[in-house]
Structure 1
Amino acid sequence: MLRMRVCGCVIALWSSCFVLLAVAQVLIPSEVNALRAVKNRLSDPRKHLTNWNNGDPCKSHWTGVFCFNTVGADGYLHLEELQLLNMNLSGSLAPELGQLSHLLILDFMWNELSGTIPKEIGNMTSLKLLLLSGNKLSGSLPDELGYLSKLNRLQVDQNYMSGPIPKSFVNLVNVKHLHMNNNSFSGQIPSELSKVPTLLHLLFDNNNLSGYLPPELSNLPNLRIIQFDNNNFMGNEIPASYGNLSQLAKISLRNCSLQGEIPDFSRIPSLSYLDLSWNRLSGSIPSHRLSHNMTTIDLSDNQLNGSIPESFSDLPSLQKLSLENNLLTGSVPAIWWKISFSTKARLKLDLRNNSLSNISGELNPPANVTLRLEGNPICKNASIQNVGQFCRSEAGGDGIPDSSTNSTQTMTCPSQACPTDNFYEYVPSSPVPCFCASPIIVEYRLKSPSFSYFPPYIQKFEMYFTRSLDLSLYQLSIDSIFWQEGPRLQMHLKLFPMFINPHSNTFNFSEVHRIRGILTSWELPPTDFFGPYELLNFTLLGPYSNMIIGPRRMGIRKGILAAIITGAVASFVILSATVMLLITRCSRHRDRPPSRRHSSSKITMKIDGVKAFTFKEMTLATRNFDSSTQLGRGGYGKVYRGILSDDTIVAIKRAEEGSLQGEKEFLTEIELLSRLHHRNLVSLVGYCDEEGEQMLVYEFMPNGTLRDWLCGMKFPTFPVS
């Protein structure tokens, strides 16, 4: 009988080893059912979600489904991200999305979804990014969205949504970005938004908002962008308190039916962009000098009078000054005199249709300045030399091109050496001539840039973008750019792999996954000048076309895999030898009658090198088993990192109620474990058998467990082959 028990233990131990290698944790069934409900509401003409019918979402790498790497307290995996960007999906959003209470990112951008936003999304209390831009969603925003207290970014722009902005948004205490532009939202902008101190960007342009501009918004300490263009604040003024927004980089209130005078914005040190055009503003232009960072001032199509401030001549970064269609008088200041133009710089001065009659100084702007004066009395002053060339209706266009393409000089390279039919091409800025590689294509858009002309800032953007993605500068090529209504700047970017040798012409899986993860999680560091960005598409062609972007950090490098196999073989040999020793010893003593060492219910034992700890010592070592000290969880129970009274760091394995043994069996297990000694196995330090608890105390392994290596919890993602 004893031999059978030992054999049973042997089988159990060996099975545990193989289970460790083969077991895979699964997604909680309620979230699996929620995903199926989501799919049932969608039409998927391009078959992106075909694999949503196969197996477990986490194990089978369902398209767009990303799971946490560790199980929750309930013993199951949970969804971390649902990313279905630009998949041509139609249909509607399922209310069952509200069951994904652990989800951090919900991304349905740039699809064809219709219907309303389910109020059940308010149950997704862990959500940080809610991204629904570029669909056909309608109806109003549910008040329940105010329950999303961890939300960082809400993007519902470019839909057909209507109704008011919910006052419940005051409860979004962590939100930084409210992007609601290009919808049909109506009513008053809630003054309650001023109580959300984290707000950075308010993009409400192209809606039907009305009422007044809340002066309370000036209380927002971190506000960087106000973009309310094309709304209807009929008869209301711009609050003078907006001049106190010390962190503001951009304010754009174009075509809002505003009246009154222009506030003094000279106290805002970082202001770069001011657009108050197409309103009914009157009075004179404030004379105080604006920030040195100013690139754009557009006050056109108002009822402004008085003269053009001389302080406009002291703005070294100015690219655009539009004052046309006003009632301005006096002289034209030679604004270009104090500006040091680089070869890439441009300045557009549009002063048409005013009452300007003279020029301060000579009328001889440099070639990269576009000046338009038609419709002013100065054009009839024949005594001013060269004035005629600036008074023609075609005088230089607007001076700022709408689009451009990569002008990198073409290298002289053999065409046959780079197979363009498989989406390979020569890297334009490669440090090694004629390096042929396959790029990742990224469609990228700046939603609210603080400039009007991009070329002077291309290098600055390239450095910002590559540094944010941990790439070298030559790995980025801006293939083309074009301005869109807004204005917004769309870019077609190509990302090339690093040159290591002539054959390193593709990114590996982990690099593709890393780059995509940064872009889709909005982890690029914020920049006021370039403003908020959006990812329109992340295209994998050619050698990347069959790449499955699965859960993060799940890959294993070849070296790690070899180490795991070696360790597993060694452990198997040691385990086999130990088992044979146990069988031999049990055979020798199989005829001995069992006996109790103590008659009391509390059994004790003394083993050299193994200490009996009190429950109090275990509690102190783990800060009362605080969740922050938990290392993992297994079939036996939870494992905690503990610090003993002598500062020794240990791993404490605490049995759960369903795993408790009889005291004698527990102490017998301790005795067996104390005899296992090998440099590849952690040693048993002690145990605790008090207050109904059973705990084993081991040496602490700072580099993690075999399971960690197998499941990719401690290492970055790399392909096996």
Structure 2
Amino acid sequence: MSFSWYLELYSKIVLQFADGKIAQGRLIVNSIVFAAISFTSRIPAGSVRAKCYMEQGATPTDLSPAAETLPDEAIALTALAGNWNNQPHNWVGMDPCGSKWVGITCTNSHITMIVLSGAKLNGSLSGDIGNLPELEYLDLSFNKHLTGSIPPAIGNLMKLKGLILVSCNFVGTIPAELGNLPRLGMLSLYSNNLRGEIPATIGNLSKLVWLDITDNQISGLLPVSSRNNLNLGLDNLTFCQHFHFGKNNISGSLPAQIFNSNMRLIHLLIDSNNLTGSIPPTLGLANKLEALRLDKNRLTGSVPPNLNNLTSLSELHLSDNQLTGPLPNLTGMNQLTYLEMSNNPFDQSQVPPWFSTLPALTTLKLEFLKISGQLLPPVFAFPPLQSAYLKNNHFNGSLNLDAGYSSQLILIDLQNNDIDDASPGDYSKQLLLSGTPYCNRGGNSKFCGSQLPPSPPPFSTPFENCPTTNCPSDQEESPTCNCSYPFAGTLLFRFYSFSNMGNWTHFTAVEVNIDKQARQLFSIDSVSVQNPRLDGNSYLDVDIRIFPADKLRFNYSEIISLSNMFSNKSFVAPDGFGPYLFIPNPYVDFTVPPSPSSKSKRLPAIIGGTVASVVVVVVIAGLVIYAIQQRKEAKKAKELSLPFGSWDRSNSSNSIPPQLRGPRMFTFDDLKKFTNNFSEDNSIGSGGYGKVYRAALPDGTLLAVKRAQKESTQGAHEFKTEIEMLSRVHHRNLVSLIGFCFEQGEQMLVYEYIPNGNLKESLTGKSGIRLDWRRRLRIALGAARGLAYLHELADPSIVHRDIKSSNILLDHHLNAKVSDFGLSRQLSGDGKGHITTQVKGTMGYLDPEYYMTQQLTEKSDVYSFGILLLEILTARKPIDRGRYIVREVRNAMDKAKDFYGLHEFLDPVLGLGTKPPGFERFVDLAMSCVEESGDRRPSMSQVAKEIETIMQMAGMDPQAGSATTSDSFSSTSRPHPYNSDTAYDYSGGVFTQKVEPK
């Protein structure tokens, strides 16, 4: 019999394993069938990877001597692709080199490069990667659905020079086996979910130049040779120039060994970690350092007096630690451009002598210290100075600017100092003196207001003199007046040598550099740079867009090339900008050529021997019986496990769906049609439950379809709960359930389409909607009214159980709609006022009383709502690196101070220079909601009434709807990472706008 006959029969058998033990059955089939075929075709048997050949429709002659790819490497790459649900479009056949698979580079029949950055891969990276012995470069960056652990088998790739897995979703630890790679020069793993310690074996990488693990959950001590028995650690990496470790949980002291004259280190970035102890005195030996970020740690002790040995240093960030002793001596640091040492308990000191002797300094940040003395000329006169942030110190005497100041100086902030008098001369920029004796005696009101003067509009690439261009809503206009789908994302510069954001030449240079590098890849239309701003990590975020030339979309290969341009750092930032992270926006669609028909790839049949034929037929017959039995058992088990039992739309079934009022039952074919076959172009979000798609009814009505993962019961109980809850509650501040579908093993919920995503996305900058104080009040009121309806007007009353910012959706007018009722519970009518139930919700929002007693009441929602109010106020996560927002705010509150002493907690986007009416009542309301005892918390109707009062104090009408549409909102377009909450989430907020964190 021919191989084609075997293959056809094989395919039919595999289909029998649609349920049940599919993996086990398929492996059995593959192993035996492939063994039989190998008997006649002489392909080596015994490899599990053989199943990939079968599933690809390959035949043994695919590995004939005519193929350009070496057989073992073709096997490895095909097996690798078998773990991805979204393979590149032309990965067909079994000859990657000969067929020129996209993203694959070959040399002498060996696979030497895999570059699939931004390719929308979905799955995991298998150990088969270790079977590509000639691989020199692996870049799988910006594939947010690429998860699982980094396989230790990468340690087999002895020729690997670059390993770039940035902004994916890898978990687990950094494999110690990476230390086996003698040629590795670049190891970049930023923005994943990696945990554990940095393996000491990294110290083996003698060729390493770039080590970046920023924005993970790495913990433990920094490895150095004295801390282990391996005599390995970071101090062995004398060739390395970049240690980028920011935004992790690294603890312990800063090792003295990494500062020595043999190290070539120029960037040491360990900001936002948990370092303790003192800065070692060996710091002064690292004379090649150009940037040092140790801010946002818990360092103590004095700064080493030899700090000023670092004469090449241009960036120094030591803020937000517990450093004591005298202010460090910076005399002679003539390259220093940016100095930040705020929020440290340094000893009280006089104005240091180096204040006016740093010839390159552009930015001086010394806030909340204990510096006293008079600021004598020419302290602000050295030419490069742009900003001086000096508030909350003890500067005294007279401030005299008549003697001169830098022509670039745009800000002098001396608020809350002891300045007695001021002579600003002709200085007309931002001079802030509120909280000084000068202002308390009625000084010049121009300088005594706490609110900053309006800033100039942020930079945006200027457009040509375009005629009126009406681009479709999902397209953008380029600076050259063309409509298309740009490649877009955000560059996050981890340091920068300037503070004058009004000097647009900096950002023009970024635009020029991107344009130059992109045009070296292929033709583009233009580049746009927009909206530079500072984020909470003191990074400078800049939005960029690259527009395709003479077409609507970039194709698959072009997206990969553009993504790789940023992941491998071939885009070089201009002078004045430090190293960057890049966070791409999901690309709407790729222009993909049609794949060849699988039939056209079939090779001539191979005639097997009699012995092999008999073996295969006998084995297949047995497997057919086995498959049928397994399928029946799996189907029965699945029906019993589903909360709806065996619902069926046909009349022949004994079980029917519930008789619900309102929601419509959609057929699978309906929703398939309305979502354009669930196309990726219509995908607007994803989470642990599944994906959400935008759907359009024939009349043009937009819907959101939440589709559970195929053949999975994850979220099944929540599916049932949400249908039943939303079928009987109707309120303008609750999301509306339009219908549902449970055909063909699917679980889908159909909601009204909410265009502006969720509150969390707006607070963190992902949605591009800037929320001012008034908009936040109105959103808080809408959410409160929705909850009050559930608690007091629904019969029986309903506790939501998962109130959080990602479950508050914002419609076209920014009206709040409470969503995601999968965890909701009805309170019984027995008069107890509570039910005892298993604790569920999201950590950080959970009511501690409910957590301890398991007794659920409406006051549990009130507690979560209090956390939501604090989130509205601060834009901070409820729990961030072990810091709980309730405890932090409660400890910092001082009602005798302006803003209750909460300046440092307020969201900078609010721009609250002056205290808005009702601010204190808002804070008081939030704190009353998070009282430890539920009895001391207000009801939701009381909460809603108090917010109405606060709105009236702010001159707002609580009964009026939002007066503006989202089209007029100012945009920040900041898709910076904000990780999903915890495993308690079943939906992950999946029916929001499609955005990518971090």
TM over 0.5, shorter chain: yes
What SS class does the counterpart of residue 430 from structure 2 fall into? Answer: strand
Distance (Å, rounded) in 2 between the aligned partners of 1:263 and 1:149: 34
- How far 1:505 sits from its partner (Å)? 8.0
Task: Indicate the RMSD between aligned Cα atoms, in angstroms.
Answer: 3.8
Q: Which residue of 2 aligns with 1:452?
A: 499
**1:427 aligned to 2:473?**
no
Native 8 Å contact 2:490 2:583 kept in 1:
yes
Distance (Å, rounded) in 1 between the aligned partners of 2:182 and 2:373: 54
Q: Give 2:439's match in structure 1, choosing from 379, 397, 410.
A: 379
Once the two structures are superposed, residues 597-616 of structure 1 have per-residue CA deviations (whole angstroms, 9 ceiling, x without a partner) of: xxxxxxxxxxxxxxxxxxxx
- How far 1:363 sits from its partner (Å)? 5.1
Distance (Å, rounded) in 2 between the aligned partners of 1:191 and 1:319: 34
- How far 1:445 sits from its partner (Å)? 1.8
Q: Give 2:577's match in structure 1, choosing from 521, 530, 537.
A: 530
Q: Which residue of 2 aligns with 1:276?
A: 341
What SS class does the counterpart of residue 280 from structure 1 fall into? Answer: coil
Q: Give 1:209's match in structure 2, choosing from 254, 268, 275.
A: 275
Which sections of structure 1, spanning at least 5 residues, go unmatched?
1-18, 549-721
- How far 1:459 sits from its partner (Å)? 2.5
Q: Which residue of 1 aligns with 2:487?
A: 440
Q: Which residue of 2 aligns with 1:389?
A: 446
Distance (Å, rounded) in 2 between the aligned partners of 1:337 and 1:481: 30
- How far 1:370 sits from its partner (Å)? 1.5
Q: Which residue of 2 aligns with 1:408?
A: 462
**1:25 aligned to 2:76?**
no
Once the two structures are superposed, residues 531-554 of structure 1 have per-residue CA deviations (whole angstroms, 9 ceiling, x without a partner) of: 111222276556x54389xxxxxx
The equivalences for 1:154-553 within 5 A come to 154-167=211-224, 168-195=233-260, 196-234=262-300, 236-281=301-346, 282-288=348-354, 289-334=356-401, 337-341=404-408, 347-359=410-422, 361-362=423-424, 364-366=426-428, 369-382=429-442, 387-394=444-451, 396=452, 404=458, 406=460, 408=462, 411-413=465-467, 415=469, 420=472, 423=475, 426-428=477-479, 430=480, 434=481, 439-456=486-503, 457-467=506-516, 469=518, 475-496=526-547, 503=550, 515-525=562-572, 529-537=576-584, 541=588, 544-546=590-592
Distance (Å, rounded) in 2 between the aligned partners of 1:304 and 1:148: 45
Give the direction of change, closer, same or farther, for the CA distance of 1:330–1:512 in structure 2 (3 Å limit).
same
Q: Which has the larger radius of gyration?
A: 1
- How far 1:99 sits from its partner (Å)? 1.4
The equivalences for 1:568-607 within 5 A come to none
Give the letter for the 1:210 counterpart: T
Taking only the aligned residue pairs, the percentage that are identical comes to: 26
Once the two structures are superposed, residues 558-611 of structure 1 have per-residue CA deviations (whole angstroms, 9 ceiling, x without a partner) of: xxxxxxxxxxxxxxxxxxxxxxxxxxxxxxxxxxxxxxxxxxxxxxxxxxxxxx
Native 8 Å contact 1:27 1:78 kept in 2:
no
Native 8 Å contact 1:70 1:77 kept in 2:
no
- How far 1:265 sits from its partner (Å)? 2.2
- How far 1:139 sits from its partner (Å)? 0.9
Distance (Å, rounded) in 1 between the aligned partners of 2:495 and 2:335: 15
Native 8 Å contact 1:443 1:536 kept in 2:
yes
Distance (Å, rounded) in 2 between the aligned partners of 1:140 and 1:219: 26
Once the two structures are superposed, residues 329-360 of structure 1 have per-residue CA deviations (whole angstroms, 9 ceiling, x without a partner) of: 2222328943325xxxx72211111211122x
**1:150 aligned to 2:212?**
no
- How far 1:145 sits from its partner (Å)? 0.9
Give the letter for the 1:529 counterpart: G
Distance (Å, rounded) in 1 between the aligned partners of 2:395 and 2:107: 62
Distance (Å, rounded) in 1 between the aligned partners of 2:81 and 2:246: 26
Q: Which residue of 2 aligns with 1:139?
A: 196
- How far 1:251 sits from its partner (Å)? 0.1
Distance (Å, rounded) in 2 between the aligned partners of 1:309 and 1:511: 57
Give the direction of change, closer, same or farther, for the CA distance of 1:520–1:380 in structure 2 (3 Å limit).
closer
Q: Which residue of 2 aligns with 1:579?
A: none
Q: Which residue of 1 aligns with 2:187?
A: 130
Native 8 Å contact 2:318 2:342 kept in 1:
yes
Native 8 Å contact 1:143 1:166 kept in 2:
yes
Aligned residues: 499
Give the direction of change, closer, same or farther, for the CA distance of 1:28–1:104 in structure 2 (3 Å limit).
farther
- How far 1:277 sits from its partner (Å)? 0.1
What SS class does the counterpart of residue 545 from structure 2 fall into? Answer: strand
Native 8 Å contact 1:65 1:81 kept in 2:
no
Which sections of structure 2, spanning at least 5 residues, go unmatched?
1-62, 113-130, 225-232, 595-998
Distance (Å, rounded) in 2 between the aligned partners of 1:349 and 1:257: 25
Give the direction of change, closer, same or farther, for the CA distance of 1:39–1:274 in structure 2 (3 Å limit).
farther
The equivalences for 1:558-573 within 5 A come to none
Native 8 Å contact 1:66 1:80 kept in 2:
no
Native 8 Å contact 2:395 2:417 kept in 1:
yes
Give the direction of change, closer, same or farther, for the CA distance of 1:219–1:36 in structure 2 (3 Å limit).
farther
- How far 1:219 sits from its partner (Å)? 2.1
What SS class does the counterpart of residue 146 from structure 1 fall into? Answer: helix
Q: Which residue of 2 aligns with 1:694?
A: none
Native 8 Å contact 1:48 1:87 kept in 2:
no
Give the direction of change, closer, same or farther, for the CA distance of 1:104–1:353 in structure 2 (3 Å limit).
same
Q: Which moved more, 1:110-119 or 1:163-172?
A: 110-119
Distance (Å, rounded) in 2 between the aligned partners of 1:202 and 1:152: 13
Distance (Å, rounded) in 2 between the aligned partners of 1:164 and 1:21: 52
Q: Which residue of 2 aligns with 1:610?
A: none
Native 8 Å contact 1:516 1:538 kept in 2:
no
Distance (Å, rounded) in 1 between the aligned partners of 2:575 and 2:64: 49
Give the direction of change, closer, same or farther, for the CA distance of 1:521–1:371 in structure 2 (3 Å limit).
same
Q: Which residue of 1 aligns with 2:14?
A: none
- How far 1:488 sits from its partner (Å)? 0.9
- How far 1:279 sits from its partner (Å)? 0.3
- How far 1:388 sits from its partner (Å)? 2.7
Distance (Å, rounded) in 1 between the aligned partners of 2:366 and 2:247: 23
- How far 1:493 sits from its partner (Å)? 1.1
Native 8 Å contact 1:444 1:536 kept in 2:
yes
Distance (Å, rounded) in 2 between the aligned partners of 1:243 and 1:414: 57
Distance (Å, rounded) in 1 between the aligned partners of 2:139 and 2:198: 21
Once the two structures are superposed, residues 92-134 of structure 1 have per-residue CA deviations (whole angstroms, 9 ceiling, x without a partner) of: 1211121122222222222222211111111122222212111
Native 8 Å contact 1:86 1:536 kept in 2:
no
What SS class does the counterpart of residue 378 from structure 1 fall into? Answer: helix
- How far 1:28 sits from its partner (Å)? 5.5
TM-score normalized by the length of structure 1: 0.61
- How far 1:480 sits from its partner (Å)? 3.2
Give the letter for the 1:249 counterpart: S
Once the two structures are superposed, residues 210-249 of structure 1 have per-residue CA deviations (whole angstroms, 9 ceiling, x without a partner) of: 1211232322232111001111122x11122221212111
Native 8 Å contact 1:296 1:318 kept in 2:
yes
What SS class does the counterpart of residue 137 from structure 1 fall into? Answer: coil
Give the direction of change, closer, same or farther, for the CA distance of 1:28–1:264 in structure 2 (3 Å limit).
farther
Once the two structures are superposed, residues 429-467 of structure 1 have per-residue CA deviations (whole angstroms, 9 ceiling, x without a partner) of: x4xxx4566643243221222223333122333344444
